Structure formats: structure tokens, C-alpha cells
Amino acid sequence: MSKAFSRMHLMTRRFAFIVSMLSLCLCQAACSRGTKLPKIKDKVPLTKVIGTVLVNGVPTGGVTVHYKPESPIAEQREMYTRFFTTTNSKGQFALKTYVTNDGVPAGEYSLYFDQVSTDLSEIRKYGEGDRFGERYSPPNPPIKKITVKENEPLDLGTIELEAAPPPSK
């Protein structure tokens, strides 16, 4: 395969990726305007859980923190609960149930992590997949298991992860 063809193929894939991401954002914005979830009655008590993620020793934004309930939890309304959050630019995160940073119901959770970049320099360096090479995602064991107790805020401290080495070219 010629270098020109390979470069053209890569540019076409990037363009398709960017267009698909923009389309997804537009669809989400259009759908979310008209869709209002009904008010939730009888919300369960939530406990704040916070932490910080370092990647290769550096606080890193854009890392997705997945928290999987491992025990029956009081809140079973799947349409309201999304069991993931994303770190901010300082690597900090707070688990959520109904809205950002509101906490989670008491129970046991397994924590998993991934980071899929949309930054072209990161994609060039690590490829289009998970920056961690899926080492911190199921079916691998969780990075951390936590027990959340009602009305006892939990600071997970620093969670250190290592990026997968860039693919060899």
C-alpha cells in the first residue's frame, strides 16, 4: 500500500469519526430538549463518594469512572441511574445517581476505568481505542471495590493508573 493511499485512508477515517461525533452531539442535544424525565418520588438517601485519578502520575481529565453495584442497592430505577462519571481537568470525580455529584445509594461497588480520546494528537499516539488498553475494564478484575455506607461520605483518595504503551509503528 502506498504512503499516499495510507495517509488518505487515515484522513478519511478521522473525518468520518469527527462527523459521527458531531452528529451524535446534535442528536443528543435535539433529543434532550423535548425529553423530560418525570419527577422522581421517594428518592433514596445518597452518600457522596469522591476521588482523584492520576494517569502515569499526572491528574488527568476525561477518564470515565464506571461503578458497578455488586450488592442489591436501594435504587433500582435504571432509567435514572447511570453508573459512570468522568474526571475533570484536575483528575477529580464524584459518583452520581440523579444529577452530577449527588452521590450513590449505600452498597458495594466495583470500580473500572477507561479513556477514549477524541483529541487527534492522542489518537495518533495511542490509537482510537481505550488509552489503557482495556486493562481496567471488564472482564478484568475491578481496580477497586468500595463499600458505601449511608450518611458516611467516602473519599477514595488517589487512584493511580498507567496508560498502555503507544502501539509500535
More confident residue, 15 or 168: 168
Indicate the pTM of the whole model: 0.69
Tally of CB atoms within 10 A around 64: 17
Of the pLDDT bands very low, low, confident and very high (cuts 50, 70, 90), residue 79 is: very low
Rounded to a whole number of angstroms, the CA Rg of the chain reads: 19
Which residue pairs, CB below 8 angstroms and at least 24 apart, start in 85-89? 86/61, 86/62, 87/52, 87/53, 87/60, 87/61, 87/62, 87/63, 88/61, 89/59, 89/61
CA 123 to CA 116: how far, in whole Å? 9
Predicted local distance difference test score (pLDDT) of residue 141: 94
**Ranked by mean pLDDT, which of 3-17, 108-122, 152-166 comes out on top?**
152-166
Of the pLDDT bands very low, low, confident and very high (cuts 50, 70, 90), residue 149 is: very high
Of the pLDDT bands very low, low, confident and very high (cuts 50, 70, 90), residue 59 is: very high
